[in-house]
């Protein structure tokens, strides 16, 4: 019987020890988790700062892109004086290039139409050539006056 009491006594002694061990393990695990949470919080803060920096950089780049596109549009307009400014529009380089192409096509069609119209209507250059008057319709007295130089 003593053995039974000894076993029970050891079990009683193990129980409080095992509860303490479990408590120590739980506390250790809690400390590890708290440390992990703290690391994750630092990582989240770092990622938030990075995100804010990237958003600001993105805004700056968008403004720079807008300025560059505006400058490009101005350059295209100045480089193509035969094209009406209102025909060139767009907010991207691609759309500006596309509108420039359409405007050039339009100008070429109008130019071809005007040239075709000019070819249809042939007007001789300068005044008509001088011809001598028809003397056959003049009377003999008028012919004598004409010959003397009196064109009256």
Secondary structure, 3-state, 27-92: HHHHHHHHHHHHHHHHHHHHHHHHHHHHHHHHHHHHHHHHHHHHHHHHHHHHHCCCCCHHHCCCCC
18, two tokens = 């095992």
Specify the pLDDT at position 14: 47
Specify the pLDDT at position 150: 63
Residues of the chain with pLDDT > 70, as a percent, come to 85
Mean pLDDT in the chain? 85
Specify the pLDDT at position 75: 95
Closest residue by Cα to residue 96 from 108, 52, 104: 104
The number of beta carbons lying within 10 Å of the beta carbon of residue 146 is 14
Verdict on whether the full-model pTM lies above 0.75: no
Inform me whether the pLDDT recorded for 8 exceeds 50.
no
């Amino acid at each position: 019987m003593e053995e039974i009491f000894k076993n029970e006594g050891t079990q009683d002694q193990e129980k409080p020890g095992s509860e303490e061990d479990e408590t120590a393990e739980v506390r250790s695990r809690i400390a590890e988790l708290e440390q992990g949470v703290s690391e994750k919080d630092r990582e989240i803060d770092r990622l938030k700062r990075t995100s804010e920096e990237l958003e600001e950089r993105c805004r700056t780049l968008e403004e720079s892109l807008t300025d560059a596109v505006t400058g490009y549009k101005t350059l295209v307009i100045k480089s193509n004086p035969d094209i009406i400014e209102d025909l060139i529009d767009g907010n991207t380089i691609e759309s500006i290039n596309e509108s420039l192409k359409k405007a050039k096509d339009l100008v070429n069609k109008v130019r071809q139409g005007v040239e075709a119209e000019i070819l249809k209507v042939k007007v001789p250059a300068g005044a008509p050539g001088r011809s001598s008057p028809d003397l056959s319709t003049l009377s003999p007295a008028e012919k004598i006056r004409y010959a003397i130089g009196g064109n009256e």
